[in-house]
Amino acid sequence: MNEAVFSGTAFVRGEAAGEVISSDVELSFWGGVDPVTGEVIDRHHPLSGRILTGKILAIPGGRGSCSGSGVILELLLNGKGPAAMVVERADDILTLGVVIAEEVFGQSIPVVILDPKDFRRVRAARHARVDGARVACAERPEDLGALSGDRGPAAPPASRMELTQADRAFLDGAHGKAAQVAMNIVLRMAELQGADRLIDVTQAHIDGCIYTGPGSLRFAQRLRDWGGRVVVPTTLNSISVDHRRWRAQGIDPAFGEPASQLGDAYVDMGARPTFTCAPYLLDSAPARGEQIVWAESNAVVYANSVLGARTMKYPDYLDICIALTGRAPLAGCHVESGRRAALRIDLPALEGLDDSFYPLIGYHVGLLAANRIPVIVGLEKASPSQDDLKAFGAAFATTSSAPMFHIVGVTPEAATVEEATGGTAVPALDVGIEDLARSWSELDNAQDASVDLVSLGNPHFSVRECETLAALCRGRVKHKDVTLVVTCGRATYDRAREAGILAELERFGVQIVTDTCWCMIIEPVIPPHARTIMTNSGKYAHYGPGLTGRRFHFGSLEDCVAAAATGIADGRRPSWLQAQ
């Protein structure tokens, strides 16, 4: 038989066989895979258009949104998921969705990590069989013999952990079933992360309130009905609808009702109805060195990189489990060694930068970094604003699985390259104008110059961005056939309204949507007739084509306002992107 057999580490045990579907590019399940059909919808990914259902999925790991775990849960509960996942490195987001399906709903698939060399052999094969921690691959299914791998249950998570008496009380059910299940899930993920003990956290931000399908609602309601209550101050991410106005916006109740109920379930467990993907704009934003549990990829990256707080890139559902117990694994960015840069990226000398530079460079750096924390050199004199760093971090978190970045002379833990790397020599990459031009073409890919919708606020707009937008709109008239929508959090909305900014924006024709964000917005907020969307968000320019089926233009905020006034994207690239 032409068969090769490899042994790895099984983070979720089981048995499966099938055709291999593989890529050497990481995949974000949120915005990258349709939870209803199992199709890869990330139009920038090599697997675009492929169906994962029943396949042995071999990818290096995940990337992008923390909500990927929610999509995996939906796929498994509706029978559209892969038969197994074989990866090159431990991945919280990919694994957690399977762990939740197993712990709460009794369904799972195998998840096995292989040595990179063995992983490449499996990725190149046409068929594979997974059994416990062993993976066999061959060109023909009939060449796969029966494996005899260890399919027994893994050792209890607590057996290799240093637990306090309070931890054991949670695990023994002293605080109710929801907290007991939550602690068991926390400990399973701590094993994956290599932690040997847990730490206290001061606050949580929940991303699992995004409605990915019936499974996300069932999970939250089950925890609530089991008596779940958060034990640390907890904020909520954007939900999938404007909680107060979705009916008036014409959202189909078949979607609006469960999406709204999901937010309610988390509020019932004691979370604040902040409903923003930019919790760093709230008064409760953490201080440098504060140990927190935040999910939502852009928020995690901003908290670690810009605020200097400490959180891992927590997947959806692990966030609420930690909020219910107040305990998180001591691993990753919670410890000093997990925050060091492993890659240096040198940028070209550029002048006259506008706000489109930061989402573009974040997007490009994320592609280069993959799962490595980068330190960026070349922006020491650029003085990026907090909004610039917000845009950079969101785009970076879209194409990278790394939980943070450093920018020399800008972010708090990178006064020098040596400080960011801990004095260790790391690989270096140079970025040229031609590299950035290629990434611009990926984001700005619409062939038709016309613009039907201008999308702003991914991540949520700040008050300062509202002020800038109002200044750009002043003295102009919006084109009658163009819709311009801004998303922001409730706190920002209230401050901008009190300052009179909203009234000025509304006179121009800007529509303000709160509580939700562009990665969840559907028709009719996106006008059904709209075929081309323009945005200043690198994150939405990446995810949008797959999520909406529309073509996208990308540009600065000023470019977006010009398109709203004329109905045309002029296609001119910024001066700093021209050949030097």
Residue 274 has pLDDT above 50, yes or no: yes
Task: Give the C-alpha separation, 57 to 91, whole Å.
Answer: 14
The pair of three-digit structure tokens given for residue 168, joined into one six-digit string: 């054991």
The pair of three-digit structure tokens given for residue 188, joined into one six-digit string: 């399973």
CATH number for the domain that contains residue 77? 3.50.30.10
User: How confident is the model at residue 155, as a pLDDT?
Assistant: 42
Task: Give the C-alpha separation, 298 to 538, whole Å.
Answer: 12
Mean pLDDT of 251-274: 98
Residues whose CB falls within 8 Å of the CB of residue 478, separated by 6 or more in sequence, listed in order: 484, 508, 509, 510, 564, 565
Q: Which residue, of 441, 475, 508, is where some domain finishes?
A: 441
Q: 64 with 19, same domain?
A: yes
Q: What is the pLDDT of residues 245-262, one digit of tens each?
A: 999 999 999 999 999 999
CATH number for the domain that contains residue 180? 3.30.499
Confirm whether 56 is domain-assigned. yes
Task: Give the C-alpha separation, 138 to 253, whole Å.
Answer: 48
Q: 253 with 283, same domain?
A: yes
Q: 408 with 458, same domain?
A: no
Mean pLDDT of 443-451: 95
How would residue 156 be classed by pLDDT, with cut points 50, 70 and 90?
very low
Residues whose CB falls within 8 Å of the CB of residue 19, separated by 6 or more in sequence, listed in order: 54, 55, 56, 126, 127, 141
For residue 400, give the nearest of 539, 571, 242, 549 by alpha carbon.
539
Query: Out of 56-70, 355-369, 536-550, which region has the weakest mean confidence (pLDDT)?
Result: 56-70
Helix (H, G, I), strand (E, B) or coil at 151: coil
Q: 199 with 264, same domain?
A: yes
Q: 344 with 314, same domain?
A: no
Confirm whether 279 is domain-assigned. yes
Task: Give the C-alpha separation, 241 to 263, whole Å.
Answer: 9
Residue 150 has pLDDT above 70, yes or no: no
Confirm whether 149 is domain-assigned. no
Mean pLDDT of 424-446: 97
Beta bridge partners of 453: 483, 533
Sign of the CA dihedral 64, 42, 529, 257?
negative
Task: Give the C-alpha separation, 395 to 63, whole Å.
Answer: 12
Query: Out of 158-172, 182-196, 260-274, which region has the weakest mean confidence (pLDDT)?
Result: 158-172
User: How confident is the model at residue 152, as a pLDDT?
Assistant: 46
Q: Pick the residue with more confidence: 241 or 148?
A: 241
Task: Give the C-alpha separation, 165 to 211, whole Å.
Answer: 36
Cis peptide bond upstream of 524, omega within 30: yes
Q: What is the pLDDT of residues 460-495, one digit of tens each?
A: 999 999 999 999 999 999 999 999 999 999 999 999
Q: What is the pLDDT of residues 378-432, one digit of tens each?
A: 999 999 999 999 999 999 999 999 999 999 999 999 999 999 999 999 999 999 9
How would residue 60 be classed by pLDDT, with cut points 50, 70 and 90?
very high
Task: Give the C-alpha separation, 466 to 477, whole Å.
Answer: 17
- The reply to whether 65 belongs to the active site is yes
Confirm whether 148 is domain-assigned. no
Secondary structure letter of residue 386 according to DSSP: H
3-state secondary structure 317-376: CHHHHHHHHCEEECCHHHCHHHHCCCEEEECCCCCCCCCCHHHHHHHHHHHHHCCCCEEE
Q: 16 with 66, same domain?
A: yes
User: How confident is the model at residue 38, as a pLDDT?
Assistant: 97
Other Cβ atoms less than 10 A from the Cβ of 145: the count is 12
Q: 299 with 373, same domain?
A: no
CATH number for the domain that contains residue 521? 3.30.499.10
Q: Which amino acid belongs to residue 412?
A: P
Q: What is the pLDDT of residues 485-535, one digit of tens each?
A: 999 999 999 999 999 999 999 999 999 999 999 999 999 999 999 999 999
Q: What is the pLDDT of residues 541-575, one digit of tens each?
A: 999 999 999 999 999 999 999 999 999 999 999 99
How would residue 268 be classed by pLDDT, with cut points 50, 70 and 90?
very high
For residue 536, give the nearest of 456, 452, 437 by alpha carbon.
456
Query: How many residues appear in the chain?
Result: 580
Contact 128, 20 (CB under 8 A): yes
- The pTM is what? 0.91
How would residue 66 be classed by pLDDT, with cut points 50, 70 and 90?
confident
Percent of the chain exceeding pLDDT 90 equals 92
Using a CB cutoff of 8 Å and minimum separation of 24, what contacts does 254-261 make? Answer: 255/211, 255/522, 258/211, 258/214, 258/217, 259/211, 259/520, 261/217, 261/221
Task: Say if strands 9-12 and 111-113 run parallel, antiparallel, or are unpaired.
Answer: antiparallel
Confirm whether 532 is domain-assigned. yes
Q: 426 with 460, same domain?
A: no
Sign of the CA dihedral 119, 336, 406, 65?
positive
The pair of three-digit structure tokens given for residue 561, joined into one six-digit string: 């306002």
Give the number of domains in the chain: 4
Residues whose CB falls within 8 Å of the CB of residue 118, separated by 6 or more in sequence, listed in order: 6, 8, 135
Task: Give the C-alpha separation, 152 to 159, whole Å.
Answer: 16
Q: Give the DSSP per-residue string, 494-545.
A: HHHHHTTHHHHHHHHTEEEEESB-TTT--TTTS-TT--EEEES-HHHHHHHH
Q: Pick the residue with more confidence: 147 or 19?
A: 19
The pair of three-digit structure tokens given for residue 569, joined into one six-digit string: 């994207």
The pair of three-digit structure tokens given for residue 508, joined into one six-digit string: 């121009």
User: How confident is the model at residue 579, as a pLDDT?
Assistant: 56
Residue 91 has pLDDT above 50, yes or no: yes
Q: How many CA atoms lie within 13 A of 518 on its CB side?
A: 30
Q: How many CA atoms lie within 13 A of 580 on its CB side?
A: 12
Q: Which residue, of 289, 313, 334, is where some domain finishes?
A: 334
Beta bridge partners of 514: 488
Q: Which residue, of 441, 461, 491, is where some domain finishes?
A: 441
Mean pLDDT of 219-231: 97
Beta bridge partners of 516: 239
Residue 157 has pLDDT above 60, yes or no: no
Q: 396 with 504, same domain?
A: no
Cis peptide bond upstream of 273, omega within 30: no
Secondary structure letter of residue 431 according to DSSP: -
CA distances from 232 to 100, 178, 262, 295, 327 (A): 22, 15, 20, 15, 10
Mean pLDDT across the chain, nearest whole number? Answer: 95
- Quick one: how many helices (H) and strands (E) in the chain? 18, 22
Task: Give the C-alpha separation, 505 to 345, whole Å.
Answer: 39
Confirm whether 286 is domain-assigned. yes
Helix (H, G, I), strand (E, B) or coil at 310: strand
Instruction: Give me the phi and psi of 496, to 5 degrees please.
Output: -70, -35
Q: 402 with 451, same domain?
A: no
Helical pair 538-548 and 433-443, crossing angle rounded to 10 deg = 40
Other Cβ atoms less than 10 A from the Cβ of 544: the count is 26
Confirm whether 152 is domain-assigned. no
Q: 83 with 169, same domain?
A: no
Contact 61, 371 (CB under 8 A): yes
Which one is catalytic: 22, 28, 65, 260? 65
Confirm whether 469 is domain-assigned. yes
User: How confident is the model at residue 1, as a pLDDT?
Assistant: 52
Q: 250 with 326, same domain?
A: yes
Range of the domain at 174: 165-334
How far, in whole angstroms, is CA 227 from its chain's centroid?
28
Mean pLDDT of 99-108: 94
| Helix %, strand %, coil % of the chain (to 5) | 35, 20, 45
